[in-house]
Amino acid sequence: MEKFNLEKYISRSGFASRTDARELILNHRVAVNNQTISDLTYRVSEADFISINGIPINLIEKVRLFMFHKPRGCIVTADDPHDRKTIFHLLPKNLPRLISVGRLDFNSEGLLLMTNYGPLARYFELPENNIKRVYELKLFGTWNENNIEYLKKGIKVDGMQYQPIDARILSRKNNQIKLECALHEGKNRELRKIFTNLGLLVPKLTRTSYGGFFLGSLPQGQIIECKKFIVDKILKNAQLI
């Protein structure tokens, strides 16, 4: 039976990244067959009983990554106390348990990455990993010619400092503007808050790409799985395997 380094086993279970797994082991929070282990060289197999803080963990069969076209009018959560429609009502029932990479708000649409592997989701989300997100917005209102420069410098709204945003006008007719925005950070409702602060309405916001994955012609409400060699390359580059 194949043996794994304990920290690698924890990472492959989806519980934590290898870096976080080391900390868990060193902090005496990992047990193998009910015995606390703090040795980073300790090796285990699938026959062993591994737990973290008393919670059993198991290897996932394989790391999977999906692209989902989130439609407007649903929320990105597994359970909503207000009983609104969630993205999980739209997903096929034969998929594994998935978590979303970041979120899109109720009125936004577009590309949402989903995975069965927590450390991969965290890798995509962490600002220090500098993952590029691109959005297409339809705006309505009076456009200030200095807005592009404001966005490039970064803007503070209600005490929150937002990082620089690369923006370009795709089309403009009277008070209707179509804009593309690229950013490397995704604070809650960031673009809506920024453009509202600039005196503009945001009737439509679509995420068109995330970390080199593109929405393309994927229909709303549909999900497709990314090729294994692409996922393996990301895992290797992110040092998750």
Q: Tell me if 100 sits within 8 A of 90, measured CB to CB.
A: no
Phi, psi angle pair for 236, to nearest 5°:
-65, -45
CB distance 211 to 113 below 8 Å: yes
Pairing of strands 176-183, 133-140: antiparallel
State the Cα–Cα distance between residues 184 and 165, nearest whole angstrom. Answer: 8
CA angle 184, 187, 188 (to 5 degrees): 145
- Selecting among 20, 80, 105, 166, the annotated active-site residue is 105
Annotated catalytic, 79? no
Task: Give dist(CA 189, CA 167) in Å, integer.
Answer: 17
Catalytic residues: 105
